[in-house]
Structure 1
Amino acid sequence: MSLMYPPVAPELDDAANSVLGKVRLILEAFGPDDESLGLSEIVRRSGVAKASVHRLAQELLRWGLLERRGSEYWLGMRLFEIGQRVPRQRILREAARPYMEDLYQATGETIHLAVLDGHEVLYLEKVSGHSQVSRPSRIAGRMPLHCTATGKALLTFGPAHLFAEVVAAPLTRLTPRTVILPKLLAQEIDQAKKAGYAIEREQIRVGYLSVAIPLIGATGTMVAALSVTAPTFRADVNKYVSLLGMVSGRITKSITLVDDQRR
């Protein structure tokens, strides 16, 4: 069972009334675990009329935003190419990647770099070994804020209004240990604030825990979260916190230097 969120429910009344809105709904019909979709499934998920989906899909194929193999549609490489040009993503990834590799060498565990996007965690980069579990996280994947270590770090050190917005909706339970009560989540956030790091144990995947710290920019604003994920039986939380703290300042210094050079 995938732990990723399903495709976001579209605002059909607004988006489907324009060509660009329909294109957005078609592209967002593809979920994180979808390699390809048939025309009928795109129609069902997007809520766009079949004739419109067929017509717009032909244009998207010509632009390279979609690819077609037989009767199945795939997201095109052109989307990936455009995505790599996003300055914020590129700067963060390039600054953090060398230190993420150092963390991986020091721990042998999975390292994640994540940012806040709406009320979700968006993974920008991941470093792991061949034998390590690939799910539930993946680059460009999304996860809930309330039960991931990076999400808890973003909640703790992010905008003050964020917590109230997140708990205003029902919190999803992914494992028996997922915290879904606002009061308990608030206690975790308070503990993270005092400790300077966030932790989750088996709230995303049974048998695993993660430790995360915020990456703070030159202006004092949180720009991302960095984490180590390991099986609970061999996890060394104190070691991970120490190593994460050692590299966090170096990463944010690299980001600051790039920003200064761009000014």
Structure 2
Amino acid sequence: MSPAERDESAMGGLDRAAAILGAFDVTHRELTLAALVARSGLPRSTTHRTAGRMLQLGWLDKPRSRYRIGNRLFEIASLAPIRMELREAVLPFLQDLHHATKITAQLGVLEGGQILVVEKITGHRAMPMLSQVGGIIPAYCSALGRAILAYSEPSVIEAVLGAPLAARTPRTLTSPVAIMRELTAVPERGWAIDREEGVIGVSCVAAPIFGPLGDVVAALSVTGPSQLVRADRIGPAVRMAASAASRTYSTRR
């Protein structure tokens, strides 16, 4: 028995399904069987058998010769509280923010040391370099992440800043001291800033959203070309949108 087969034999059906689902991401939305095998790390026969069952369940779809995430998983995911409650409460304010600024508006939550993009409104100004809904971005160098981290427990901040802080652009802050300086400025200012730290030419302003107990649960932002994202002009609008979203979300809980 090969090492891959030994590892596979110790896995349950859900583990194998999780490995296959984990093979997909925003840059790998459709995969051939060979690509699915390579990215899941499962033997070919196991991948083919498990994927076949997932097709029957609606977890996967297979138009022509490529696998992709099935509609049934989308239906299930839409029932998650983050989608049903947080998104529904914040969406009107995201729409208002986008309408007022004509710049991409985003909603994100902290997942480990990453920001999960929950919602995004782009309008006609396409920003293909930004993460799509369901995508992740580092918390330490994003305005969304900093808006949340500024109000997070010290242990959460320590975990994020204790991990490798890679420079995504020449402007990325990678010093924990410099990042902490940014975090401590957020409460007084009312918003967090990312000045081309994720993508050159793109800046972001974000503000936190709080739950009914006063704990930070998410952040919303506007992101766009640096010449259009002027923090002194956009920051107050982002802060007011986040404050209104916080009140609405808290009363729905």
TM-score by length of 1: 0.88
Equivalent position amino acid for 2:54 in 1: L
1:227 aligns with 2:192: no
Equivalent position amino acid for 1:172 in 2: A
1:126 aligns with 2:120: yes
1:140 aligns with 2:149: no
Aligned to 1:97: 91
Would the aligned equivalents of 1:214 and 1:222 in 2 still touch at CA under 8 Å?
yes
> Structure 1 pair 152/68, CA: closer, same or farther in 2 (3 Å)?
same
Deviates more, 1:12-21 or 1:135-144: 12-21
Equivalent position amino acid for 2:185 in 1: Q
Identical aligned residues as a percent = 34
Q: Secondary structure at the match of 1:122?
A: strand
Q: Secondary structure at the match of 2:62?
A: strand
Report how many residues are paired: 248
Aligned to 2:156: 162
1:25 aligns with 2:19: yes
Segments of 5+ residues of structure 2 without an aligned counterpart are 1-5
Would the aligned equivalents of 2:207 and 2:238 in 1 still touch at CA under 8 Å?
yes
Cα deviation for residue 231 of structure 1 reads: 1.3
Q: Secondary structure at the match of 1:250?
A: helix
1:218 aligns with 2:208: no
Cα deviation for residue 217 of structure 1 reads: 1.7
Cα deviation for residue 15 of structure 1 reads: 11
Equivalent position amino acid for 1:238 in 2: D
Separation in 2, partners of 1:217, 1:204:
28
Separation in 2, partners of 1:27, 1:171:
27
Q: Secondary structure at the match of 2:150?
A: helix
- Runs (4+) off by over 3 Å: 12-16
Would the aligned equivalents of 2:212 and 2:251 in 1 still touch at CA under 8 Å?
no
Equivalent position amino acid for 1:54 in 2: H
Cα deviation for residue 89 of structure 1 reads: 2.1
> Structure 1 pair 194/256, CA: closer, same or farther in 2 (3 Å)?
closer
Separation in 1, partners of 2:9, 2:25:
18
Separation in 2, partners of 1:215, 1:14:
42
Aligned to 1:248: 242
